[in-house]
């Protein structure tokens, strides 16, 4: 028998809210079965949620997460998905490197402003 999960089971197991899970459904990233009014999630839905959460942690947008998830094709393997993921990782690293440079420059500017303020204050005493 295939493992299934309720929305509360998934929320508890992945430490997210049920509202977050419903949001991902609204974004067409999850498609649980319905049994009456109850949502029934598959093991694949659980993996999809894990991928979404991992993508968010490393700074991917929901659109990027969705793109990566949609590239998975079990009949052909996941080569295209992995290649695209590697490209996105490289892009993210480039963005982070630029952000680090921007932060370092901002710290230099803050140090300069602070030094000027201290010098101005010292002159007033």
Tokens of 85: 């993921």
On whether the CB atoms of residues 38 and 6 are closer than 8 A, the answer is yes
On whether the CB atoms of residues 7 and 21 are closer than 8 A, the answer is yes
CATH classification code of 4-71: 1.10.1660.10
- Domain-by-domain residue ranges, the chain? 4-71
CA distance 56 to 29: 14
CA distance 40 to 4: 6
CA distance 86 to 52: 16
Instruction: pLDDT tens for the chain, 125 residues: list them.
Output: 689 999 999 999 999 999 999 999 999 999 999 999 899 999 989 999 999 999 999 999 999 999 998 888 777 778 888 999 999 999 999 999 999 999 999 999 999 999 999 999 999 87
CA-nearest of 20, 9, 82 to 43 is 9
């Amino acid at each position: 028998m295939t493992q299934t999960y309720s929305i509360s089971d998934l929320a508890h197991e992945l430490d997210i809210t049920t509202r977050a899970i419903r949001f991902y459904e609204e974004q067409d990233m999850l498609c649980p079965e319905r049994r009456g009014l109850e949502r029934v999630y598959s093991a694949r839905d659980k993996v999809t949620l894990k991928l979404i959460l991992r993508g968010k942690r490393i700074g991917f947008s929901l659109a990027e997460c969705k793109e990566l998830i949609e590239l998975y094709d079990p009949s052909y393997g996941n080569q295209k998905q992995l290649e695209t993921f590697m490209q996105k990782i490289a892009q993210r690293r480039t963005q982070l490197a630029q952000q680090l440079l921007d932060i370092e420059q901002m710290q230099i500017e803050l140090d300069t402003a602070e030094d000027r303020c201290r010098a101005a204050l010292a002159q007033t005493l």
